[in-house]
A and B are shown apart, each in its own frame.
Chain A
């Protein structure tokens, strides 16, 4: 590690130090949930004062890259800025990648189900039809960060190549298979207590707080082509209202 502070810059020292930590977190030097060096270590090794490190850490925490646990230390903790996700067409996963975080597919479940009443009404079906149910779990540094649960009409995706699902978005697949272009989406952010299944999958305690983004995507002919719900642990979500 090399934390060089440059007196010729107009940036205050704490901010410079924060930028060093931020760069180290983003390039993977510090993994998610890793503990950041304590005041004493930084003081002895680099001669930084406690006040300066505290200020740097506070800035890091406010920007959503770290989290302080009382009497334990400061830990790397990525939070995702949700307002981008909710106000754009881009799926949540691509947004997470755009924010500099590398989440990869760890579990995948595909099944064909008959739609029930609720799904019929959301898709606008008159009678029960075959639906493709896709559950994807994304992990980063071994920690579950996102659970995507989505339904697609099976006639849009007759030939699915499992390999291609490992890519980020399913929209190109839909476009390729059926010519439907996703054009509009209704998104809804709500707070939920994770139920038994959700908490087991995300490896959290039952009843812990989660953020759920539910919605449906429509194509150019105003047909519903996707009904989804994405679940993220609540402590990773931030919504910035400007």
Chain B
């Protein structure tokens, strides 16, 4: 139980502290798949907190799909399905690697580049951007979200998004994609049914045309529980 810490002087509710400790222990691999968690009674006695508090923490964790409750046996760490390929190229993943993954659009809107978002992705010399957001699900489980930001020129309109995406597939010249670790936003945490303090891998790519002009920006939001990156290096 060394991964559990409770600080009663904090304003954070104790059940939240407990669930956060267990959650990060599961995500960083301290707790392995199928491992039995300490009982409610055990935790309650060790930290002198009531069983109700511990129960609430477990309830929260099972709602996030991190643990399993088995009657008469206790709480077990649930099998977290990993998709290591996601980190390398989330975009091609949906098209080739696994056919059972379904993608659907949840947001289509035109934003003006005066908003703060385009500032993050460089200097656009246009005042209109098309923003598309998709979710990718596999057998009722949401795997990741991705978002396109496409520069609109002249005749292209909202209805053309399929055309635009196919254009991007043909002409994309990606130099590199960048992976970062970030806290999840509230909006995305609801979509991905993750807890508010869970983490995401953010993969961003810039798309350029033949003349090197920026035509679109792509980002994928992958919950950190879904994937992990491991490498073996050998000295020569």
Contacts and interface: CB of A to CB of B under 8 A. Distances in A.
Interface of A: 54-55, 58, 61-62, 68, 70, 82, 86-89, 182-193, 195-197, 207-212, 214, 234-235, 237-242
Question: Taking each of A87, A189, A242, which has the highest tally of chain B beta carbons within 10 Å of its own beta carbon?
Answer: A189
A185 B232 contact: yes
Interface stretch (B37-45, B62-70, B71-79, B115-123): B115-123
17 contacts: A58-B123, A86-B229, A89-B235, A183-B234, A184-B233, A185-B233, A187-B233, A189-B229, A189-B231, A190-B229, A191-B199, A191-B224, A192-B28, A193-B27, A195-B24, A209-B182, A241-B88
A241 B197 contact: no
A117 to B, nearest CB: 12
Interface residues of B, number: 42
B47 to A, nearest CB: 14
A197 B197 CA distance: 17
Interface of B: 3, 5, 7, 20-21, 23-24, 27-29, 87-89, 116, 119-120, 122-123, 175-183, 197-201, 203, 224, 228-235
B178 A182 contact: no
A208 B228 contact: no
A210 B88 CA distance: 20
A189 B5 CA distance: 24
Contact of B199 (A58, A186, A234): A234
Question: Taking each of A55, A185, A191, A237, which has the highest tally of chain B beta carbons within 10 Å of its own beta carbon?
Answer: A191
A192 B179 CA distance: 15
Nearest to B198: A193
Nearest to A14: B123
Contacts of B224: 190-191
A89 B197 contact: no
Contact of A240 (B119, B176, B229): B176
Contacts of A209: 181-183, 199
The 7 closest A-B pairs by CB, nearest first: A239-B179, A191-B224, A234-B181, A191-B199, A184-B234, A188-B230, A191-B181
A190 B122 contact: no
Nearest to B228: A190
A58 B214 CA distance: 14
A102 B87 CA distance: 30
A234 B228 CA distance: 15
A86 B5 contact: no
